[in-house]
Amino acid sequence: SLLIWDVFRGQVTDKVKKKLMDLNIEYVYVPANMTHFFQPLDLTVNGCAKQRMKKEFITYYSNAVKQQLDSGKQLDDIEVDFRISVLKPLHAHWLVDLYNFFTSTKGSDVISKGWRKSEIQ
């Protein structure tokens, strides 16, 4: 296995290095401020995930506003519910959908593209 990580001090310890060695995991450090060039997740996956999650939130927000406008509320009287008890189950659902996307053929292509762009073989 190969672990690609940045040089964050909290993970670059002798204890962590020994554990990786015990597990037969090779590691490569990406220089500071360079992960967007070399880390496969930064190259494709993270941006795609953020975009999909943002779209889910915008859909939630716009639907809440539309529903209230359709019921006759005035724009100044509209309130969107941001309580954690409301957003937490929605977010969990969005994460499951995100997982399902990345385990699909299309999602797998996004992941593979990150590896190709990083030129890590």
Each residue's pLDDT tens digit, 19-47: 999 999 998 888 888 888 888 888 999 99
The alpha carbon of 8 is separated from its chain's Cα centroid by a whole number of angstroms, namely 19
Q: Cα 18 vs. chain centroid, distance in angstroms?
A: 28
Burial class for 4, CB neighbours closer than 10 Å (0-12, 13-18, 19+): middle
Per residue in 43-94, pLDDT (tens digit) is 999 999 999 999 999 999 999 999 999 999 999 999 999 999 999 999 999 9
Alpha-helix residue ranges (DSSP H) falling in 39-120: 40, 46-70, 84-102, 105-118
Q: Which amino acid is at 32?
A: A
SS3 26: strand
- Residue appearing with tokens 């190709």: 116
Is it the case that residue 120 has pLDDT exceeding 80? no
